[in-house]
Amino acid sequence: MGAATIIDVRVAAAHEGIAELIVSIEYENGGTTEVALDQLATSALMDSCNASSIEDVKGQPWDKVRDALQVSYNRYQ
């Protein structure tokens, strides 16, 4: 599996105006995708990247996004 990296991050308004983080990921073949993270997933991503701002997340591997989504999902388990 090729390396995919976070290339951009921005804050957006989600349902009822709650903030979410939109993470853009670029794959080795040049393809891109965007993933929306809720507050819990955003916090997990920031922690795993040792980031003090969302700019610090750029350049990190995509698997940190996957792991952050799993943290958010597992809160319902």
- 3-state SS, one letter per residue, for the chain: CCCCEEEEEEEEECHHHCEEEEEEEECCCCCEEEEEECHHHHHHHHHHCCCCCHHHHCCCECHHHHHHHHHHHHCCC
Q: Which range marks the domain in which residue 47 is found?
A: 5-74
Domain count, the chain: 1
The predicted model scores a pTM of 0.89
Tokens 């943290």 found at = 71
The tens digit of pLDDT for each residue in 20-69 reads 999 999 999 999 999 999 999 999 999 999 999 999 999 999 999 999 99
